[in-house]
A and B are shown apart, each in its own frame.
Chain A
Amino acid sequence: MRELITQTWSWWFSGAMIAGIMFFLLYFGQSFGFSSNLRTICAAAGAGKKTKFFDFKWKTQVWNLVFLVGAIIGGFIAKQFMSTDLPVQISADTISDLAKLGIAAPASLQPAELFSLDAMLSVKGFLILAMGGLMVGFGSRYAGGCTSGHAISGLSDLQVPSLIAVMGFFIGGLAMTFFILPLIF
């Protein structure tokens, strides 16, 4: 019984839970879009004084910041009480592709080559984390949403702009995976 919780959750159960979260947010009068929090935090930090884009009633978005805090707590609970610390079971093809880049087979959920303290303290490792975050933050606002806002909420409402954004996510993701990562590693 406990295994049901500690093993990797199935795609169908996880997908259904995410849809459920979206519907609960709609029922509570809000909508599912995580990257809006980045704009809200900039606004709360006072960016609205100089930049019009951040001059809005950010306090109406506090519910989403609370959701963000919940997500951090959820990650903590998953790790402390619901995990076995087994390495993530990715396909053998991916393991061999990543080995060619010099990234070892999974020993946990994340590669030490990117997310260990040693990696972060190297110039290259720091730049990878920083550039990754920078592009996600810039791109999500330019596109008007991230995976939750466009791929889940937008596609559920059959919105063409969201479909274009998701196509963009994949063009960028494939370019990074097949052309840029081999140059970096």
Chain B
Amino acid sequence: MKFIKFLILGIVFGIVMAKSEAISWFRIQEMFRFQAFHMYGIIGTAVTLGVIGVALIKKFKIRDFHGNPISFYPKEKSVIRYLLGGIIFGLGWALSGACPGPMVVNIGYGFLTMTIVFLFALVGTYLYGLIKDKLPH
């Protein structure tokens, strides 16, 4: 039962992703071609509210429902891993039109061929784990 809240949040996430059309390859193409505001509006609104909310959480030291402080961990400082990893991710995002969340939402929506994309995303993650130590970070 302790997981039901995450199931509900996941369902809401899936519905929002589908109904905002953020799961559509067409919308991602429109975004990368700078031909509509829609995707920028979605991400921009989320980040704007996110910045305000996170600042408030820190200022008022808001606690989670367990009573623990909500803490944010700075990501390790580096440029190369974020830039290179980000570029590889971006190449895949523009090709398949889906980042990991939208992949599974698409499967639920009925675009079953997206299962191939998701399976190969697992393969990609596994490959990274295999050669991680040989990559610049």
Contact = CB atoms under 8 A, between A and B. Distances in A.
Tell me if chain B binds chain A.
yes
Interface of A: 5, 8-12, 14-19, 21-30, 34-35, 37-39, 41-42, 47, 51, 53-54, 62-64, 66-79, 82-83, 88, 90-91, 93-94, 97-98, 106, 109-111, 114-117, 119-120, 126, 128-144, 146-148, 150-162, 164-177, 180-181
Contact of A11 (B10, B42, B101, B123): B42
A18 B18 CA distance: 12
A17 B16 contact: yes
B103 to A, nearest CB: 7
B15 to A, nearest CB: 4
Q: Which of A16, A29, A156 has the most CB of B within 10 A?
A: A156
A8 B21 contact: yes
B64 A16 contact: no
14 contacts: A14-B16, A15-B42, A69-B7, A71-B10, A75-B15, A78-B109, A109-B109, A109-B111, A131-B95, A139-B124, A144-B81, A146-B101, A161-B82, A162-B82
Contacts of A79: 18, 108-110
B65 A27 contact: yes
Given A82-B15, A94-B26, 18 more contacts: A24-B5, A35-B125, A63-B3, A72-B108, A77-B108, A97-B29, A109-B23, A133-B118, A133-B120, A135-B89, A137-B100, A137-B121, A140-B85, A143-B81, A157-B72, A167-B86, A169-B93, A172-B88
A168 B90 contact: yes
A148 B76 contact: no
A19 B49 contact: yes
State the majority secondary structure of interface residues on A: helix
Given A63-B3, A156-B51, A74 B11 contact: yes
Contacts of B37: 11
Contacts of B89: 135-136, 138-140, 142-143, 146, 165, 168-169, 172
B10 to A, nearest CB: 2
Contacts of B88: 135, 138-139, 142-143, 172
Nearest to B112: A117
Contacts of B24: 88, 106, 109-110
B9 A70 contact: yes
A153 B50 contact: yes
B124 A72 contact: no
Q: Which of B30, B42, B70, B95 has the most CB of A within 10 A?
A: B95
